[in-house]
Amino acid sequence: MTDYHPYMNHSQLNILQRMGIETWQLRQAPLEIPQNAWENLQLAVKACTACPLACTRTQTVFGVGSTKAQLMLVGEAPGFYEDQQGEPFVGRAGKLLDAMLNALGLTRNDVFIANILKCRPPNNRDPLPEEVSQCTPFLEKQIAFVKPKLLVAVGRISAHFLLKTKSPLNTLRQKIHQTSTDTPLIVTYHPAYLLRNPQDKRRAWADLQFIRRTLAEQA
Ligand code: URA
């Protein structure tokens, strides 16, 4: 017996034990995420100066959507318009992403959309590994809070960082990957890539069907 029994002290428990009487132990309460954790996370992102992108950003881009979403999309990093507006995927690629979501019968308010990086890399260059390692704890906390049933890595860069691989995107599609966050993950094309390569929209459509089916199976 331990001293943590809620109703009896150690010697009372000892007496019962010597009499051969079993006592109930209260199980450790599940780790509660405090109510204000989300607001605190938003504030922490806003105030972050952990990497030099803090000096070049207009503002941070936390993410958008429902904190109760079953589906969480993870892009790469804010671009020019996202940096200006403080919301992910608002440029032309964002419009295509909205259309892809609509094909699933969803809007951006039904899902949660985040990026690996919360700040825009200058000239939209690829994120640097040091920037990713400083920023991913924010994404991990977002995933832990929202607890989506399914993650979708939007594009090669996101897939490579989330799956810690360098495999070509095409070989990562149409599979359910397990991640360190324990949330299954599917990879699909980045809408900016699809704007440049419309011939792959047919494959992206197949990915959307795969996402829809997987989500239904996870429910
Ligand atoms: N590309 C991304 O990966 N994320 C955005 O938010 C915008 C463009």
pLDDT digits (tens, 9 = 90+) for 117-147: 999 999 999 999 999 999 999 999 999 999 9
Residue nearest to atom 6 of ligand 1 (CA): 88
| Residue 195: how many other CB atoms lie within 10 Å | 14
Cα 155 to ligand 1 centre (Å): 9
User: Residues with Cβ < 8 Å from 209, sequence gap 6 or more?
Assistant: none
Structure tokens at 8: 């009896």
CATH topology of domain 34-218: Uracil-DNA Glycosylase, subunit E (3.40.470)
Residue 108's Cα: distance from chain center in Å? 14
The pick from 53, 62, 113, 115 for probing ligand 1's pocket by mutation, whose C-beta has the most ligand atoms within 8 angstroms, reads 115
Cα 87 to ligand 1 centre (Å): 9
Structure tokens at 198: 């419309």
Question: Model confidence at 19, in pLDDT bands (50, 70, 90)?
Answer: confident
pTM for this predicted structure: 0.84
Helices and strands of the chain, counted as H and E runs: 10, 5
- Predicted local confidence at residue 146, as pLDDT: 98
Question: Model confidence at 218, in pLDDT bands (50, 70, 90)?
Answer: confident
- Which residue type, as a one-letter code, is found at position 110? D
Stated as kind and residue range, the H or E segment containing 103 is helix 92-103
Q: Which residue do the tokens 């671009």 mark?
A: 79
- Predicted local confidence at residue 115, as pLDDT: 98
